[in-house]
Amino acid sequence: MRLRNIPRAESVLKGCREVIDEPALYRGSWNDVFGNENPIYIEIGMGKGKFLLAMAERYPERNFIGIERYSSVLLRAVEKYMEPEGGAIRNIRFICMDAADIADVFAQGEVSGIYLNFSDPWPKARHARRRLTSKEYLYRYDKIAADGAVLEFKTDNRGLFGFSIEEIKECSRWELGKYTSDLHDDEDMNSGNVMTEYEEKFSSEGNPICKLRAVRKA
């Protein structure tokens, strides 16, 4: 699907101090950006920002960074953040970049948690390497994750979910934890769940949500 270019995106993003323009400059020093030593959690493919903004508000003792490839999509999240109720949140930053370059932006052990929510399934087999839960990406995450870092993935796509489980099982640096193919009917895994825009939409249509957790091995 081709995204519509929004002319004001560049100026709005540049005008928001929480949008980091040259993120590679801060590799290894993201705690200096936040001015504290709190653990850093990232969401890759943050979309319109509902999930990350809610997480940042719920967990002020953590630092959150939202990563989105397309400026026209990131614009929606930043505009939501700039609304009066969002502007009080100080433990959040935004980056417009391709997740394939993530090891150029974060140093080894710098990230304590990774959220992947309703990622592009890239349904064609020849595009499997582009899936954010492929072994290629799991190895990239290994380069930035701290020992014991948690990776959480949610999707409504059962094919992608099955693929993701097998990829994690085959990746020696990540250990598959709990998972479910019906999140909202799983009391344990749904405890404290923060819904995304897609999750609300798909759930209202009667589609079950899949979720897994994995942990980076020491």
197 annotated as ligand-binding? yes
Q: Which of 104, 120, 142, 186 is catalytic?
A: 120
98 annotated as ligand-binding? yes
- Rounded Cα distance between 17 and 81, Å, is 12
Tell which residue, 168, 174, 167, 166, has the closest CA to residue 216: 174
CA distance readout (Å), 123 to 120, 131, 132, 166, 186: 8, 9, 12, 16, 27
Looking at the chain, the number of H-run helices and the number of E-run strands are: 8, 7
CA distance readout (Å), 212 to 6, 23, 124, 170: 34, 29, 22, 15
Classify residue 167 by burial, with Cβ atoms within 10 Å: 0-12, 13-18, 19+: buried
200 annotated as ligand-binding? no
142 annotated as ligand-binding? no
180 annotated as ligand-binding? no
Pairing of strands 210-216, 174-180: antiparallel
> Is 186 a catalytic site residue?
no
133 annotated as ligand-binding? no
196 annotated as ligand-binding? yes
124 annotated as ligand-binding? yes
166 annotated as ligand-binding? no
CA distance readout (Å), 10 to 3, 5, 112, 216: 15, 10, 30, 36
61 annotated as ligand-binding? no
Residue positions annotated with a catalytic role? 120
Residues comprising the binding site for S-adenosyl-L-methionine?
43, 68, 98, 120
Residues comprising the binding site for substrate?
124, 156, 196-199
Residues comprising the binding site?
43, 68, 98, 120, 124, 156, 196-199
